[in-house]
Amino acid sequence: MRKLKKIILLISVLVILIVCSTITILIMKNNKPITQRLTEDKAGYAQDTFDVTRRLSIKEDIIGTLSIPTINLKNAPVKEYRNEKILENYLGHLPSSSYFDGNVVIFGHRTEGAHFFQELYKLKPGDKVTYTTQYTTRTYEVSNIKTIQDTEFSILKNTRNNQLTLFTCVEGNDRKRLCVTAVEI
């Protein structure tokens, strides 16, 4: 009876290892852009000042709002990214990133769905960004703007300092992303 239990345990461990290895291989093989590797849900329109605060309710699972005066973005709702539909009406929060302390990663569309980040490319170092949650509001200052490959995952790493990492697509190049880093002031 003991031998049978050991054999069953050994087989179970082997099956788990095979499944984990297969999943890892598939993920490595399928090196898709960041937004395709996450999940899905969508956002609203921000060419003119867009204030949706009055429409928001706790039932909508809004985790915060983002305001960037330089590009007339006011209280754009941020929702946990679960699928591409989120980005039709919201900015997406990367689930594996911080919600408030450390590196908060937020992304959105530039041209389709809710294109809150349509004018993100206009930001310059020193511009202010405000992120508000149910707990408090933090103000950040843009410190870095760069274009990265869609497979560049170092921007997603947590940081000791409080910062926002904002990213969106680059016009005319679906393999590139515009990445804006803003540090808390």
Domain identity same for 137 and 157: yes
Q: What is the domain range of residue 154? A: 32-184
CA distances from 55 to 61, 76, 122 (A): 12, 11, 28
Q: Are residues 76 and 20 in the same domain?
A: no
166 and 109 inside one domain: yes
Tokens 């598939």 map to which residue? 26
Structure token digits, residue 44: 């609203």
Looking at residue 176, which CATH number applies to its domain?
2.40.260.10
| Same-domain status, 21 and 54 | no
**Same domain? 66 vs 20:** no
CB contact at 8 A, 117 and 125: no
pLDDT in tens, 138-177: 999 999 999 999 888 888 888 999 999 999 998 888 899 9
Residue 136 has pLDDT above 70, yes or no: yes
| Residues 16 and 91 reside in one and the same domain | no
pLDDT in tens, 48-94: 333 333 344 444 689 999 999 999 999 999 999 888 888 888 999 99
